[in-house]
A = this chain, B = another copy of it.
Amino acid sequence: MTFLEKLRAAQKRSQSLLCVGLDTDWRKLPESLKGEANPVLAFNKALIEATSDIACCYKLQMAYYEAYGERGIAAVRETLALIPNHILTIADVKRGDIGATTDLYAYAYQDLFEFDAVTVSPYMGFDAAEPFLRREDKGAFFLGLTSNKSARDFEYLELKNGKLLYEEITDKVREWNAPKQNAGLVVGATKPSELRALRERAPELPFLIPGVGAQGGTIKDVMENNGSGLALINISRGIAGASNGPDFAEAARKASMKYVEEMRAA
């Protein structure tokens, strides 16, 4: 099954575009998990059980697991084993390095951990991206226009050719996507009008859209401006942080349902 087929099938089955962000901070877990052997894993397990029928994707922000040392790496493996096979998994790593190094990153996230996709920083250009695009069953989402304030520093720079930097990158990602249809773009939900323009510019690219909830984006804005384009809408804190009490999983499900209903209504 190609990356695109898996993405489409997961969305059809869940009837949603919901990507649940598992950005699990070991320092901020509900008290009720403190007795667990690996509290991070226990948290993820409860969250997956509470949302796997309405999520089409889980995204693990690797910073949280790297900062937890070896236990974090073990938690990544074990979390992935708990996610049903028909649901997409993304390693949010934003890697990008010379080819020989990216080879290793591709091995790590595609073969060792067996994620379906990764996020990639495009700065170093194609040879830093290409190892992530060799397999047609694995995808790579490139940073296009990110959800943070300082996206203004470089992403919006005006080029001599009349484009903005993030537009130039989008055009390149379209080229990189052409051979195997396995590239996508990260576009922040916090920039609705730019999202609309990028959707017109790259109608065929799947978008990974973070920034709904804590960062200020809304489902309504995303749905209106993304239209019928392929998209994964990521929510992390809005779901995982819905409650910090023993009812965290139940609260996460309620929050997820609310987001999914907004998606379905649009």
Residues of A at the B interface (CB closer than 8 Å) are: 23, 25, 61, 63-64, 66-67, 69-70, 73-74, 77, 92, 94-99, 101-102, 104-105, 107-108, 112, 121-128, 143, 146-155, 157-161, 165, 168-169, 172, 215
Among B25, B97, B125, B159, contact of A152 (Cβ-Cβ < 8 Å): B125
Closest to A123 in B: B123
Structural contact, A123 and B159, CB atoms closer than 8 A: no
Alpha-carbon separation in the docked complex, A49 to B102 (Å): 29
Structural contact, B127 and A154, CB atoms closer than 8 A: no
Structural contact, B169 and A150, CB atoms closer than 8 A: no
Structural contact, A124 and B151, CB atoms closer than 8 A: yes
Give, as a whole number of angstroms, the nearest-CB distance from A45 to chain B.
19
Structural contact, B155 and A123, CB atoms closer than 8 A: yes
Give, as a whole number of angstroms, the nearest-CB distance from A62 to chain B.
9
Contacts A69-B112, A104-B66, A108-B63; A150 near B128 (Cβ below 8 A): yes
Please indicate the chain B residues that have their CB under 8 angstroms from the CB of A128 in the complex.
148, 150
Structural contact, A150 and B121, CB atoms closer than 8 A: no
A/B interface sample: 9 pairs, CB < 8 A: A25-B104, A61-B97, A61-B101, A63-B101, A64-B101, A98-B215, A122-B154, A124-B150, A125-B155
Structural contact, A94 and B121, CB atoms closer than 8 A: yes
In the complex, which of the residues A73, A121, A153, A155 has the most CB atoms of chain B within 10 Å of its own CB atom? A153
Alpha-carbon separation in the docked complex, A74 to B158 (Å): 44
